Amino acid sequence: MILAALSDYPGISLIETPNGYKIRDDSNNMEMTLSLDNYERIISENKRHQLSRILKSNRLQILDCTGGFARDAAILASLGNHITLVEQNPLVMALLINAKKNIKSNNLKLIFNRITTQLGNCIDFIRRTSKKFDYIYFDFMFNSNKSSLPSKKEQFLRKIVKNDISKNLDILRETLQRVSSRIIIKEHISSNDYKNFDIINTYKGKTVKYHLLKGKNGR
């Protein structure tokens, strides 16, 4: 059953199937069903992940400002932390919430129970929340398509998510002024979009790097 042919996204439709929502792009005949059970493998390697090196402890309260398909949130939650995931794109959020309902693995169900979701712009959430987060995480879309063989998930995100680097930088500047949390920004290994910020440390992987910063407010 077609749930929605989405006027904001020409050629894209959301279809209900027995395995959950399927997103379809008519322009290149591509379809995708988000299965969070597929995250089992990356989660099994969580202790070796760069994010584990950065966090150092668990039971942290983490705000994931750019939730997307929650791969990073799943890694952070699998390390024993509580995540508030904010995502502003309604289509991405619809896929994510539906995929969460369809998780089969008990282990992943427990992990996703530690992730609560909020639809909206993360800066609006940061402005109105009184909750204190240990870490605030940002993973804006990379500027250009740097991966030669992008996954279906990345291809769909590129298609449906608008990215504006100057707005992202404004969000980061405002967040740094508003909070005292530690802030993590993920970036492609060969980009330098955040070089003007006060970066405490950068943790490098093969294709991405994670910058650690500290909010400037006493709150």
For ligand SAM, the binding residues (CB under 6 A) are 65-66, 68-72, 86-89, 92, 121-123, 139-141, 157, 161, 171
Least separation in angstroms between residue 186's CB and ligand SAM is 7
Nearest to 75 by CA among 147, 153, 137: 137
The dihedral built from the CA positions of residue 175, 177, 178 and 181, taken in this order, carries a sign that is positive
Closest residue to ligand SAM using C-beta atoms: 68
Least separation in angstroms between residue 58's CB and ligand SAM is 19
CB 156 within 8 A of CB 204: no
Least separation in angstroms between residue 20's CB and ligand SAM is 16
Nearer Cβ to ligand SAM (1/197): 197
Nearer Cβ to ligand SAM (6/161): 161
Nearest to 76 by CA among 62, 65, 88: 62
Nearest to 198 by CA among 164, 133, 177: 177
Sequence-distant (6+) residues with CB within 8 A of 194 are 172, 185, 187, 211
Least separation in angstroms between residue 25's CB and ligand SAM is 16
Nearer Cβ to ligand SAM (5/157): 157
Least separation in angstroms between residue 57's CB and ligand SAM is 21
Helix axes of 90-101 and 152-160: crossing angle, nearest 10 degrees: 140
Nearer Cβ to ligand SAM (163/202): 163
Nearer Cβ to ligand SAM (67/182): 67
Instruction: In whole angstroms, give the CA distance from residue 70 to residue 112.
Output: 9
SS3 content of the chain, % helix, strand, coil (to 5): 35, 25, 40
Least separation in angstroms between residue 59's CB and ligand SAM is 21
Tokens of 25: 């792009």
Nearer Cβ to ligand SAM (63/213): 63
